[in-house]
Amino acid sequence: MKNTSVLCILVAVLLIAGCSKGSQKTRTDMEFIPIASMEEVTRQLIEQHGEEYAGPISRGAAQVAALWQGGDGSPEEYVAFCLENYAGGEAARHELFTTLSRNFEYLWGHFNQLSLELTKPLHLDWGPISPVDVLFGSYAAGAHLAEDFYRNRIAFITILNFPFYSLEEKNALGRDWDRRQWAYARMGDLFNARVPARVNQHISRVGTEADNYVSEYNIVMGQLRNEQGEQIFPDHLKLISHWGLRDELKSNYSESERGLERQRMIYQVMQRIIDQSIPEAVINNETLHWKPYSNQLIENGEVVEASPEPDTRYWHLLENFHARRQADPYSPSYPTAIERTFQRGLELSIDDVEALFIEVVSSPVLKKTGQLISHRLGRPLEAFDIWYDGFKARSAIPETELDRVVREKYPDAGALEADLPNILVSLGYERNRANKIASRIVVEGSRGAGHAWGGQMRSQFAHLRTRIADEGMTYNGFNIAVHELGHNVEQTISLQDVDYYMLIGVPNTAFTEALAFIFQTRDLELLGFTTDDPMSAHMKTLDILWGTYEIMGVSLVDMQVWKWLYENPDTTPARLKAQTIDIAREVWNNYFAPVFGIQDSPILAIYSHMISYPLYLSAYPLGHLIEFQLEGQKVGKDMAVEIDRIFSLGRLTPRQWMLEAVGQPVSGQPLLVAAAEALTALSE
């Protein structure tokens, strides 16, 4: 009876560890170890250490076997390895865990520092980028780590003693786990694939090239002309796509003179980028004039030939797909990039995420919100009103005034870094705690729109990057900086204040986005602009809803494009472009046309994340939903204390983290209910 139960456990674990459906590899190498050898290992280890350890012993032995290849040794060597390297007893196991954790922190921390330094010419505003900068920036110093650790058997020691648990198992079993058990389970996540270093290096190189393409994709707005030949944007206004274009469009809701004309021209520019009819010569060019509507290119007063960008946007997207797909055969637990992003990365299934998003974007509350926006604008909605910014208090303040205030306050990166403690105090932190967190953050001028880069070793700093012009930071730069500061605070708490190194971080990127959004919504307060409007809370709710609606639509496009790519892996950039536009229009027609009264807009395909950060977009709408739930949790409580408590939970699964943080899983219902209440209050 005991042998039968052991065999059943072995078979079940093998199904989890190595036989996920959809794998594109026959896995003959991974079937090198016969079941008889696993049975022998399991039998002997259970005899040595006791029946109570049968489950983890069987799981670890099976998972080692699933990843053991012919080059690792014979079946007899596999048996000897397992018998020699199983850490029996809790004391021995925890001692091994401590050693592994300490050394992984050294390795990941220094790899992280190398990447940080090597990408600085690409990420910081240091002037022109050379080809060798791109080569260094795309180098992944840790690409060989997993491969090396399988060869020297550190990976197998880890797997044997800290086996992998599926997401479903973590959610089911984790409710009863203590912190140490959660840390052990996270150790078990480290080695569940054997992706060759050459594949990891290729993924890194392709991703860096796509990121560099996006970082250098700027439109010089002062060179644009309407069909009458008039300049409607200021000289030298240089906007990165899509972030800068989107934020400039938002800022024009407060501009009474030519604001709508500017918005419509930006929308036209975006459509040219999406369908790649934009003249290639326009990109990053400060000398040529361009009429986006007629697509005429003008040099020295004469119309010149305008060759379109040759589907470069979609070439980079396709290259990212091909690069990540190379890892599929080596990832038995997550055999597609989609599964690795959602099941492993977000720890949510793509079907569950898609269903959650569709529930929100289909809500009748959105149609009522759209009607309110149309009424406030005094005109029918246009497609670009997905970025309506009028619910924010700043919509009543001219952008020029906001820019003036920010430039005076933050002429350079050093001024912002010096003021971080004061910003954190304004956000509710006590002075000593604010100083401690701020001391772990470095501010730098960004080449791109901005980002946050956290540490992976407790001795490292978090880095805040935002665009800072020569004449000082603009309001847009400050708004991004406050968002990135939210990331940095999360990165600092979840690195410095989590009890086990294997639990550092948050469940997925949506959770760090949530805190970034919480900070970002307070940017005007930090600049001294306050409001006593009793409706401000309701306006803020509708602002979150509308922003969530927009980014959920973009995310649905992103997910469907990747599904299509897996169904059509031999596609071309031109065909991918056409399909992406078709998908964007379909999502628009299903969930946005009923609100906007406009058919076939492709605008949901404009986001640059689709090109340089594959499948990242879903983190944003999830972050908005989590943001709203966290905001509700801290009502009547000390905001800073709650942030410290919640983000020191570390990297549990999303479900477990949310249960411990706010008492319920991620849901769109709290936001939808609050939005309905806000609409009622504003209509009275």
Give per-residue pLDDT as tens, 643-671: 999 999 999 999 999 999 999 999 999 99
pTM above 0.75, yes or no: yes
Give per-residue pLDDT as tens, 527-552: 998 777 778 889 989 999 999 999 99
Predicted local distance difference test score (pLDDT) of residue 140: 85
Of 275, 322, 277, nearest to 614 by C-alpha is: 322
Of 387, 345, 358, nearest to 615 by C-alpha is: 345
Of 608, 677, 670, 666, nearest to 355 by C-alpha is: 666
Give residue 16's pLDDT band: very low, low, confident or very high (50, 70, 90): very low
Give residue 386's pLDDT band: very low, low, confident or very high (50, 70, 90): very high
Rounded distance, CA 240 to CA 283, Å?
A: 10
Rounded distance, CA 265 to CA 253, Å?
A: 14
Record the tokens describing residue 300, joined without a space: 């020295």
Rounded distance, CA 100 to CA 187, Å?
A: 9
Residues 167-172 have a mean pLDDT of 92
Residues 174-203 have a mean pLDDT of 93
Residues 295-311 have a mean pLDDT of 94
Of 491, 479, 481, nearest to 524 by C-alpha is: 479
Residue 630 has pLDDT above 60, yes or no: yes
Mean per-residue pLDDT of the chain: 91
Rounded distance, CA 680 to CA 640, Å?
A: 31
Contact (CB, 8 A) for 446 and 464: no
Of 58, 64, 61, 70, nearest to 32 by C-alpha is: 70
Residue spans of the domains in the chain: they are 2-193, 213-313, 329-391+531-683, 398-499+514-523
Rounded distance, CA 576 to CA 399, Å?
A: 38
Higher pLDDT, 281 or 25: 281
Rounded distance, CA 41 to CA 63, Å?
A: 12
Q: Which residues contact 78 (CB under 8 A, 6 or more apart)?
A: 33, 37, 41, 64, 65, 68, 72
Give per-residue pLDDT as tens, 150-166: 999 999 999 999 999 98
Give residue 591's pLDDT band: very low, low, confident or very high (50, 70, 90): very high
Residues 439-467 have a mean pLDDT of 94
Residue 385 has pLDDT above 90, yes or no: yes
Least confident of 3-7, 309-313, 534-538, 613-617: 3-7
Contact (CB, 8 A) for 584 and 604: yes
Residues 225-249 have a mean pLDDT of 95
